[in-house]
Amino acid sequence: MRLMAKVTSERKLVDTGIRALVNALGYSGTARFLRHFAKGEGDYLLMQEEMFKGMKLEQIYKRAKDHAQANKG
C-alpha cells in the first residue's frame, strides 16, 4: 500500500515531486521528462475561446486531425 506524502508547503510539494520522479525515472529520465513542460505566456482559456469560437466539437476534432496528418513526420 502506498501512502501519500503530507505536503505542508509549495516548496515541500516540489521537493517531494522531484524526489518521486528521480526514484521512478532516475536523474536523466527526470530531466528528460521535465523538458516537456514549460511555463507559457498568456491566458490559454481566452485564446482557446477565440480560436474555436463558433465551431462545433466535430469541427474542432477534424481540425486537430487534419493538423496532425499535415504535420506527421
At 37-67, the pLDDT tens digits run: 877 788 888 988 999 999 999 999 999 999 9
Query: Mean pLDDT across the stretch 2-19?
Result: 82
CA 64 to each of CA 20, 30, 41, 57, 68: distance values in angstroms, whole numbers, following the listed order: 34, 29, 22, 11, 6
Is the domain of 32 the same as that of 58?
no
* Enclosing domain of residue 32: 7-38
Asked if residue 1 has pLDDT above 60, the reply is no
* Residue 3, SS3 per DSSP: coil
* Residue 53, SS3 per DSSP: coil
- 2 inside domain: no
Report residue 55 as a C-alpha cell. 465551431
**Would you put residue 2 in left (φ > 0), alpha (ψ -120 to 50) or beta?**
beta
Q: Which of 35, 2, 36, 1 is nearest to 20 (CA)?
A: 2
Domain count, the chain: 2
Predicted TM-score (pTM) above 0.75: no
Is the domain of 33 the same as that of 48?
no
